[in-house]
Structure 1
Amino acid sequence: MYACAITHVRTRPIRRTFRHRTYMWLVDLDHLPVQPRALRPLARFASRDHFAGTAPTLRAGLERYLDTQGVRLDGGRVLMLAHARVLGHVFNPLTVYWCHRPDGSPLCTVAEVHNTYGERHCYLLHTDERGRAEVPKEFYVSPFFPVDGTYRMRLPEPGEKLELAVHLEREGGRPFTATVRGTRRPAGTRALLAAAARHPWSTLAVSAAIRLHGIRLYLRGLPVLPRPHHRTQEGLK
Structure 2
Amino acid sequence: MVNTVDDLPVLPAIVRGTLVHRRADPVRHAFRNRVYQWLVDLDDVPAPRGWRHLACSFDASDHLGGTLPGASADIRTNVERFLAQRGIDARAGRMVMLANSRVLGHVFDPLSVFWCFAPDGNLLCAIAEVHNTYGERHAYLVRPGGNGRAEVDKEFYVSPFNDVSGRYAMQLALTGGTVRTAITLHRPGRSPFVAAFVGTGTAATASSLACTLIRYPLMPQRVTLAIRLHGLWLWARRLPVVKRLPHVHQDGVA
TM category, shorter: over 0.9
Counterparts of 2:120 and 2:147, CA distance in 1: 20
Q: 5+ residue gaps in structure 2?
A: 1-13
Q: How big is the shift at 1:185?
A: 1.4
* Shift, 1:158, TM fit: 4.5
Deviation at 1:129, TM superposition (A): 0.4
Structure 1 partner of 2:236: 219
Distance (whole Å) between structure 1 residues aligned to residue 59 and residue 148 of structure 2: 27
Query: Which runs of structure 2 are paired with 1:83-122 in the superposition (5 Å)?
Result: 83-122=100-139
* Cα 1:49–1:141 shift into 2, 3 Å: same
The CA deviation string for residues 192-223 of structure 1, in whole angstroms up to 9 with x for no partner, is: 11111111111011111011111101101101
Matched, 1:52 2:65: yes
Matched, 1:29 2:42: yes
**1:77-226, aligned counterparts within 5 Å?**
77-226=94-243
Q: 1:102-156: per-residue Cα shift (whole Å, max 9, x none)?
A: 1111100000010000001000001100011000000000110110100000111
**1:66 matches 2:83:** yes
User: How far 1:224 sits from its partner (Å)?
Assistant: 1.1
Q: Tell me the alpha carbon deviations over residues 17-52 of structure 1, each in whole angstroms, 9 at most, x when there is no partner.
A: 022211111000001123242211100011011112
TM-score normalised by L of structure 2: 0.91
| Larger mean Cα displacement after TM superposition, 124-133 or 32-41 | 32-41
Q: Aligned partner of 1:40: which letter?
A: H
Distance in 1 separating the partners of 2:175 and 2:243: 36
Opposite residue 68 of structure 1, the aligned amino acid is Q
**Percent of residue pairs identical:** 45
Deviations 1:88-110 (A, max 9, x none): 10010000000001111110000
2:27 corresponding residue in structure 1: 14
| Structure 1 length-normalised TM | 0.97
Instruction: Report if the CA contact (8 A) 2:92-2:119 is conserved.
Output: yes
| Cα contact 1:98–1:157 (8 A) shared by 2 | no
**How far did 1:159 drift?**
2.2
SS in 2 for 1:233: coil
| Distance in 1 of aligned mates of 2:74 and 2:147 | 30
3-state SS of 2:116 partner:
strand
RMSD: 1.1
Which moves more between the two structures, 55-64 or 23-32?
Answer: 55-64
108-117 vs 150-159, greater mean Cα deviation: 150-159
Secondary structure of 1:144's match? coil
TM-fit CA distance, 1:157: 2.4
Post-superposition CA distance 1:42-88 (Å, at most 9, x none): 00011011112232200011111111211110320000000001111
Q: Distance in 2 between matches of 1:171 and 1:63?
A: 36
Matched positions, count:
237
- Which residues of structure 1 form unaligned runs of 5+? none
Question: What amino acid does structure 1 have at the position aligned with 2:126?
Answer: T
Residue type of the alignment partner of 2:79: L
Q: Which residue of 2 aligns with 1:2?
A: 15
Runs of 4+ deviating beyond 4 Å: none
Distance 1:88 1:155 in 2: 27
Paired with 1:153 and 1:95, the residues of 2 have a C-alpha distance of 13
Counterpart amino acid of residue 225 in structure 1: V
Q: Aligned with 2:155: secondary structure?
A: coil
3-state SS, counterpart of residue 156 of structure 1: strand
